[in-house]
Amino acid sequence: MSGCDCKKYEWVKVDKSKCDGCGNCVEFCPRDVLRLDNQGFPYMAYRDDCWYCDVCKFMCQLDAIELETVPYLIR
């Protein structure tokens, strides 16, 4: 997707000021869509495979993850 700001379309948002890079969100994601970047922060590597199930959010003990509102039909 040339010229696409793909970060703009990530529906899983990580507050890096809260995240400690523990990796719980990555480990417990049932669809294996999250990865840790080279700084240790999670990012959505496979957005099209995400179920938007909120497991990553619930597994984050520091409340560093928010899910953007996605259309009902996607869920």
Question: Mind listing the pLDDT tens digit for each residue in 51-70?
Answer: 888 999 999 999 999 988 76
Closest Cα partner for 23 from 6, 7, 39?
39
- Check residue 71 and give its pLDDT: 57
- Check residue 5 and give its pLDDT: 46
- Check residue 67 and give its pLDDT: 87
Q: Could you give the domains of the chain?
A: 12-67 (3.30.70.20)
- Check residue 51 and give its pLDDT: 87
Cβ-defined contacts of 31-39 (< 8 Å, 24+): none
pTM confidence score: 0.75
